[in-house]
Amino acid sequence: AQKVTQAQTEISVVEKEDVTLDCVYETRDTTYYLFWYKQPPSGELVFLIRRNSFDEQNEISGRYSWNFQKSTSSFNFTITASQVVDSAVYFCALSEAGGGFKTIFGAGTRLFVKA
Amino acid sequence: DAGVIQSPRHEVTEMGQEVTLRCKPISGHDYLFWYRQTMMRGLELLIYFNNNVPIDDSGMPEDRFSAKMPNASFSTLKIQPSEPRDSAVYFCASSFGLAGVYNEQFFGPGTRLTVL
């Protein structure tokens, strides 16, 4: 069965600090997709990144970077030089190829960035 | 381009009343998802459709919940009768499935439902 664990419920940092949000997943499928979504205070979920299980390359997009390690079943998200606008709830999610299009979301990590 | 549209944005109703939530997916998307978000249970997938056909409704909590997608541009989630424990934010999302590639989902703004 698929499962996504985001052990960090809340993280609080001061602006300009780097912060890493952890995501650990469980799946029996060899083909799967991992996602990160951001939910700002406005409430709408916004897609950040998608990774498939055959692509372990890390990715950087501006101040955001993602580290995908199949050996530890982790897909961690790092924000460099955090800003107040990064304050949001961040969700990691998993879709198994054998599970149709069903997506399981982690519980989310609430990030507070203080000025 | 318009994103996923949901209505109403807020709904307050009394226990026992019927509630209908509406969703218009992004044009061209062939998958539509209904989620419920609560503090206790997080973000739960209720049901999803592919080409207007329900594929997996295992997340629908009970028979009081039903969802339809009569055409590619409209879906409803109905709760009848509603109960206070149904209070939550309900999200609709759509996506484009391309031959085994699981693309990202685009979420609507959500409907905040309060059942008194």
Nearest CA in chain B to A40: B109
A41 at B interface, C-beta within 8 A: no
- pLDDT for res A14: 97
- pLDDT for res A48: 95
Q: Sorting pLDDT into bands at 50, 70 and 90, what band is A1?
A: confident
Q: What are the C-alpha distances in Å from B78 to residues A44, A81, B34?
A: 21, 44, 11
Q: Under a CB-based contact definition with an 8 Å cutoff, are residues A111 and A87 in contact?
A: yes
Q: Do B102 and A44 touch (CB under 8 A)?
A: no
Which residues on A lie below 8 Å from B106 (Cβ)?
47
Q: In this structure, are strands A32-39 and A46-52 parallel, antiparallel, or unpaired?
A: antiparallel
Q: What is the pLDDT of residues B49-101, one digit of tens each?
A: 999 999 999 999 889 999 999 999 999 999 999 999 999 999 999 998 765 56
Report whether pLDDT(B34) > 90.
yes
Q: Transcribe B27-89 into DSSP letters.
A: TT--EEEEEEEETTTEEEEEEEEETTEEEE-TT--STTEEEEEEETTEEEEEESS--GGG-EE
Q: Which residue from A50, A101, A102 is facing B97, i.e. has the nearest CB?
A: A101
- Compute the residue count for chain B: 116
Beta bridge partners of B34: B47, B92
Q: What is the pLDDT of residues A10-22, one digit of tens each?
A: 999 999 999 999 9
Q: What letter does residue A30 receive in the DSSP assignment?
A: S
Which residue of A23, A34, A42, A45 to mutate against B (max B Cβ within 10 Å)? A45
Average pLDDT over all residues of chain A: 93
Q: Under a CB-based contact definition with an 8 Å cutoff, are residues B48 and B33 in contact?
A: yes
CA atoms within 13 Å, Cβ hemisphere of B105: 33
The percentage of residues in chain A with a pLDDT greater than 70, rounded to a whole number, is 100
Report whether pLDDT(B5) > 70.
yes
- Mean pLDDT across A82-92: 97
Out of A47-61, A63-77, B1-15, B75-89, least confident range:
A47-61
